[in-house]
Amino acid sequence: MAKSKFEYVRNFESEDNLLPNCWIVVRIDGKGFHKFSNKHNFEKPNDLRALNLMNRSAMCVMQEYKDIVLSYGESDEYSFVLRKETDLFNRRDFFHNQTLLYPPSFDARIVLYPSNENLQDYLSWRQVDTHINNLYNTTFWNLVQKGNLTNREAQERLSGTLSSDKNEILFSEFGVNYNNEPVMFRKGTILLRKKITNPNNDKLRQVIFPLHEDLVHNKFWAKHSEILTNNVNKFYNHEYEELPDLVKLQLNVVSDIEEDNLDQINTVV
Ligand SMILES: Nc1nc2c(ncn2[C@@H]2O[C@H](COP(=O)(O)OP(=O)(O)O)[C@@H](O)[C@H]2O)c(=O)[nH]1
Ligand SMILES: [Mg+2]
């Protein structure tokens, strides 16, 4: 094909490949969610509909991009961890400044973590952040909604308090034991690929499974050793009496994407 005189502008495209041999984390964060959640009457401090929608959307992202080994979500953010060997888009910086899920819109950043320890620390950082924010927000909204404080008064009341003080306020003033708050609010959501028995036909089936476990401690990484060792074929003996809705959704509603998935899995089993 003849080159036009305009062709030279291609030289302005700079290579922005990501370093090989590193974990790639893409974190998206809702744009202006403070306003968005107010305008859409989100429940305070946690809106179950919004969180479930975030989890469902992240599940779809994982169905589309098989190189995502783990996703972690809370509030208006989600982190997607791509396996070290991924060659997705030739490791080009494809998410930069690009909206992943909409509406609403999200900003995205990519961070590289060379060691397993770095990746574990990254996820621990996000989960500890979830804890700090959720304990604060739960106490704040109890003070406002049940304690009849204004937003400003609640903010002043909580200024300089420790976790133990907030637990105490919740318990002594509102009869709330923070540890009994829904675990999804306290720990966020971890999405992993797991092989389970499909109760519809007793066949093995790989699904994206939501967990709300503590990932700061080594126990999590030992229990879900496939994340770091890249082995997804182990059977997962989940401890739930009933499968989470997100899993049921995958077992009952077979979309085109999932049909692709099924083919792959049937050859593995
Ligand atoms: N009421 C409510 N608000 C939420 C929920 N999840 C996120 N938000 C709001 O979204 C904001 C997310 O924080 P951040 O990303 O720092 O703020 P942003 O720049 O406005 O998106 C929080 O401060 C809340 O105002 C929710 O479940 N319920
Ligand atoms: Mg945001």
Look at ligand 1, atom 4, and give the residue with the nearest C-alpha: 37
Verify that 153 and 235 share a domain, yes or no.
no
Verify that 80 and 150 share a domain, yes or no.
no
What CA–CA distance (Å, rounded) separates 207 from 197? 10
- The domain of 68 spans 17-129+188-269
Verify that 166 and 204 share a domain, yes or no.
no
Ligand 1 in reach of 54 Cβ (< 6 A): no
Structure tokens at 179: 């540890």
Give the pLDDT score at 95: 39
Give the pLDDT score at 42: 87
pLDDT per position as a tens digit, 138-158:
999 999 999 999 999 999 999
Verify that 66 and 41 share a domain, yes or no.
yes
Give the pLDDT score at 98: 38
Verify that 94 and 206 share a domain, yes or no.
yes
Residue 11 belongs to a domain: no
Residue 76 in marked binding region: yes
Verify that 105 and 23 share a domain, yes or no.
yes
The reply to whether the predicted model has a pTM over 0.85 is no
Verify that 123 and 95 share a domain, yes or no.
yes
Verify that 47 and 176 share a domain, yes or no.
no
Verify that 134 and 248 share a domain, yes or no.
no
Judge contact between 95 and 26, C-beta under 8 A.
yes
Verify that 116 and 158 share a domain, yes or no.
no
What is the number of structural domains in the chain?
2
Give the pLDDT score at 240: 82
Verify that 145 and 193 share a domain, yes or no.
no
51 CA closest ligand 1 atom index:
27
Rounded to 5°, the CA angle 227-129-188 comes to 55
User: How many Å lie between the centroid of ligand 1 and the Cα of residue 45?
Assistant: 9
Q: Which residues in the chain come in under a pLDDT of 50?
A: 94-102, 254-269
Verify that 246 and 143 share a domain, yes or no.
no
User: How many Å lie between the centroid of ligand 1 and the Cα of residue 75?
Assistant: 6
Residue 220 belongs to a domain: yes
Give the pLDDT score at 40: 83
What CA–CA distance (Å, rounded) separates 118 from 130? 18
Residue 33 in marked binding region: yes
Residue 267 belongs to a domain: yes
What CA–CA distance (Å, rounded) separates 31 from 222? 35
Ligand nearest to the CA of 54: 1
Ligand 1 in reach of 50 Cβ (< 6 A): yes
For residue 45, whether the previous peptide bond is cis, meaning omega lies within 30 degrees of 0, is: yes
User: How many Å lie between the centroid of ligand 1 and the Cα of residue 246?
Assistant: 23
- CB-based contacts of 173, cutoff 8 Å, min separation 6: 142, 143, 147
Residue 164 belongs to a domain: yes
